[in-house]
Structure 1
């Protein structure tokens, strides 16, 4: 479809859904040939609109994500980031192995950067087999999260992007400008996470837990999760992965007791 046809399609779908009137619908074809569209939505409607377009993904081939980037001009800035759309094709198999290697590298750097007298304590919470003994439970049920908690930090409208990708885990490759200034937890030796690092974690969590990218604002990611772990050892393993992924999530025990067992996962970087 042409860009004009896509805009009309989006407008017609939103009108028939009864959810919201889309504002400022924009649609462009990226250098790699894939399409990116967007329109603004009110924060309290963000989840419902996202779920509506996720249900349509088998029909449209578009992956929805909510972001704070608003307006045609801002969207243009986002797309001018070098590499936009150039890596939309799926990465070869092996993302699980890449995640495992990345987690090991980051955790080793964390321990190495810890004062020697604190290293044993650090190992206690970065080794899942030892961390599991610190988790409290109760186990066996998913903890409900608040998908719209992030809207309390953002006023005005948000943008719903529709990206022609296989899944939300490809978005850091598809539009590199969506995430920036993101570091691993290996402080004070933290390294910037590359788009492929983000993709590896997000693809791994999508495959294993049904975690879908819901919100990205540049230094924050929120996932909605279909199958979070509800048993101690899987929760401990995942808590270490979350800790490795985002440098602001420093309490690994709390991650294992709460976030990883929730149907909403939040990550942020300063």
Structure 2
């Protein structure tokens, strides 16, 4: 209660969301703001207690709330346990271990029906990106200079109202664990997101700003300053969220060009 009171008292200029079922049931405090001002409000909230995360509009908050239904409890370990798993290995080793495990599980799932295909898969390295995924360095590409997930896809304008939540942790990299983000399709489980955020925070000063049901956006304090660093980072990001290339920019060179000195990172899972 002290956290909620402190945040709301400090930001009386921010429109408080009306009491309703959403606010009553969401596990963390919610503040409603104008979408066009969301990043500014997030930045103002950062010095306060806890970790602010922009969740998006009401529909997005309701989608996130679904994973907190009692029927979903068994799929998510306790917060302390998930944090410990996220801290168990250095760097990106947690992400890489998860990818190897998923690869082995996929091999086992096809082995009975197609032993030849399973053998081909077993010979592959799930952490190796094929050379043809790279193209020539594209000229004229501009890195993102703002958040894009808060825009209305039909109008291209910022949504009128979005919600910011305040998570009860000072470690911003733990946000996916508190929000139970991930654990479906190719979207890794929360502790893997957290471990990856922790590494990128230490390496690039990257912090999550937006976490929605299938999207993450991060703000970067120390972006990749040369092309080699951008290419290395593009490989990491492709392994983390391949849809940003496969259903997005097209190849890893285009992604690297966007990451080169880019202040904003965008991730999406289908």
2:266 aligned partner: 266
C-alpha distance in structure 2 between counterparts of 1:63 and 1:94, whole Å:
23
1:186 aligned partner: none
**Deviation larger for 206-215 or 242-251:** 242-251
1:213-239 Cα shifts (integer Å, max 9, x gaps)? 000111110000000111122111101
Q: Would you say 1:79 and 2:68 are equivalent positions?
A: yes
Alignment of 1:1-270 (within 5 A): 3=1, 5-15=2-12, 18=13, 20-24=14-18, 26=23, 36-56=28-48, 60=49, 62-68=50-56, 70=58, 74=62, 77-80=66-69, 81-82=72-73, 83=76, 86-87=79-80, 89=83, 91-99=86-94, 101-102=96-97, 105=100, 123-124=130-131, 134-135=136-137, 145-153=144-152, 155-176=159-180, 178-179=181-182, 181=184, 183=186, 192-250=187-245, 251-270=251-270
Give the SS at the match of 1:64: strand
Gaps of 5+ in 1: 31-35, 117-121, 184-191
C-alpha distance in structure 2 between counterparts of 1:168 and 1:125, whole Å:
36
Gaps of 5+ in 2: 105-119, 154-158, 246-250
TM-score, normalization by structure 2: 0.69
Deviation at 1:174, TM superposition (A): 1.7
C-alpha distance in structure 2 between counterparts of 1:260 and 1:197, whole Å:
24
C-alpha distance in structure 1 between counterparts of 2:232 and 2:146, whole Å:
23
Q: How many residues align?
A: 228
1:168-217 Cα shifts (integer Å, max 9, x gaps)? 321222221x446451xxxxxxxx51212212221111111011100011
TM-score, normalization by structure 1: 0.69
User: Are 1:169 and 1:206, in contact at CA under 8 Å, matched by a contact in 2?
Assistant: yes
